């Protein structure tokens, strides 16, 4: 263990989880929290082998705090190290609900989709033809689509549920499309459009900080990868009766996308009346300020 408290001490602390004196238990609680990540697996094991309601509640509470702290550290590290892997960010947010998520299983599923698209691509294809290939594999063969019956469902925002149900909202479907496109070397970026999420196909794959002028055309993954122009975005913004902003047309960064994913989850959890989840996610949101 990396901490100064030995494993035997941790085992002893866990054995005292049924301490009836609340003040004494408070000290036990604090000492376990000091262990950080090292305490998570032993607590998970204890939870599996404990049936006393009070003990289970105490262990679950500790695990929640420790997992939340670990997640904050991992998201901070993802941002600090360049946030180039959007899938990693997607997985981290999914772990707010599924802490035991099998990351390798998710990566393998994405890789299989990437290969399925890659075998259909070749250098002579135009940008539009590349998009047609992606649309065919993702929407026709893969049967992914928008959850138009319940676009605000919490499950729409998690990568594992998206891969299982093949249904998502504009953001999650767009993120899947974007992750695959970037892994195939295609110059596709996200666009943070209000009340929607779309993609931009750039004129050149080598552009590191794209502007609106670098956009060749836009893609709507929620509508099976339909290709459209800036004019359609203008019309959409007018329908929303909001003032057009440059960000509505300009490619955005991965942290902006993950921030929006967290905001989408906050909205969904508020809709179903879960203040605990809402508070946890709002805490993570502060990492992007």
Q: Answer yes or no: do 125 and 249 share one domain.
A: yes
Q: Answer yes or no: do 55 and 132 share one domain.
A: no
Tell me whether residue 24 is in a domain. Answer: yes
Question: Domain range holding 199?
Answer: 86-288
Q: Answer yes or no: do 27 and 104 share one domain.
A: no
Q: Answer yes or no: do 203 and 110 share one domain.
A: yes
Q: Answer yes or no: do 247 and 144 share one domain.
A: yes
Q: Answer yes or no: do 246 and 106 share one domain.
A: yes
Distances in Å between the Cα of 5 and the Cα atoms of 14, 32, 59, 70 are 13, 9, 18, 19
pLDDT at 14: 87
Tell me whether residue 156 is in a domain. Answer: yes
Tell me whether residue 67 is in a domain. Answer: yes
* 189: phi then psi, degrees, rounded to nearest 5: -130, 160
Q: Answer yes or no: do 17 and 93 share one domain.
A: no
Contact between residue 264 and residue 171 where contact means Cβ atoms under 8 Å apart: yes
Of 58, 80, 102, which marks where a domain is finished?
Answer: 80
Residue 1 has pLDDT above 90, yes or no: no
Q: Answer yes or no: do 29 and 158 share one domain.
A: no
Contact between residue 196 and residue 257 where contact means Cβ atoms under 8 Å apart: no
Residue 96 has pLDDT above 60, yes or no: yes
Mean pLDDT of 216-225: 96
**Dist. CA 60–CA 47, nearest whole Å:** 7
* 245: phi then psi, degrees, rounded to nearest 5: -125, 155
Of 80, 97, 124, which marks where a domain is finished?
Answer: 80
Query: How many CB atoms within 10 Å of residue 77?
Result: 11
Looking at 4-109, which runs of residues are DSSP E strands?
A: none
pLDDT at 182: 97
**Dist. CA 161–CA 143, nearest whole Å:** 14
Of 61, 80, 99, which marks where a domain is finished?
Answer: 80
**Dist. CA 162–CA 166, nearest whole Å:** 5
Domain count, the chain: 2
Tell me whether residue 212 is in a domain. Answer: yes
pLDDT tens-digit readout, 121-160: 999 999 999 999 999 999 999 999 999 888 889 999 999 9
pLDDT tens-digit readout, 160-188: 999 999 999 999 999 999 999 999 999 99
């Amino acid at each position: 263990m990396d901490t100064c408290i030995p494993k035997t001490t941790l085992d002893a602390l866990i054995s005292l989880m049924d301490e009836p004196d609340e003040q004494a238990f408070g000290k036990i609680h604090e000492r376990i929290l000091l262990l950080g990540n090292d305490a998570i697996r032993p607590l998970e094991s204890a939870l599996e082998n404990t049936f006393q309601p009070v003990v289970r509640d105490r262990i679950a509470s500790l695990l929640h705090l420790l997992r939340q702290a670990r997640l904050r550290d991992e998201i901070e590290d993802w941002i600090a190290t360049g946030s180039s892997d959007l899938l990693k960010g997607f997985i981290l947010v999914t772990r707010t609900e599924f802490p035991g998520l099998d990351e390798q299983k998710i990566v393998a599923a994405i890789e299989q989709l990437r290969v399925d698209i890659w075998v259909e691509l070749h250098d002579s294809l135009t940008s539009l033809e590349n998009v047609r290939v992606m649309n065919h594999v993702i929407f026709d063969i893969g049967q992914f689509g928008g959850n138009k019956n319940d676009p605000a469902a919490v499950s729409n925002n998690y990568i594992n549920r998206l891969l299982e149900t093949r249904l998502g909202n504009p953001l999650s479907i767009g993120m899947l499309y974007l992750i695959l496109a970037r892994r195939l070397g295609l110059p596709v970026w996200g666009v943070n459009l209000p009340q929607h999420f779309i993609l931009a196909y750039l004129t050149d794959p080598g552009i590191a900080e794209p502007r609106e002028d670098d956009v060749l055309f836009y893609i709507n993954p929620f509508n099976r990868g339909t290709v459209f122009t800036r004019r359609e975005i203008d019309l959409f913004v007018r329908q929303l009766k909001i003032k057009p902003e440059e960000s509505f047309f300009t490619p955005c960064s991965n942290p902006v996308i993950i921030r929006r994913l967290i905001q989408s989850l906050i909205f969904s959890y508020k809709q179903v009346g879960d203040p605990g989840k809402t508070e946890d996610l709002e805490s993570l949101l502060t990492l992007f300020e």
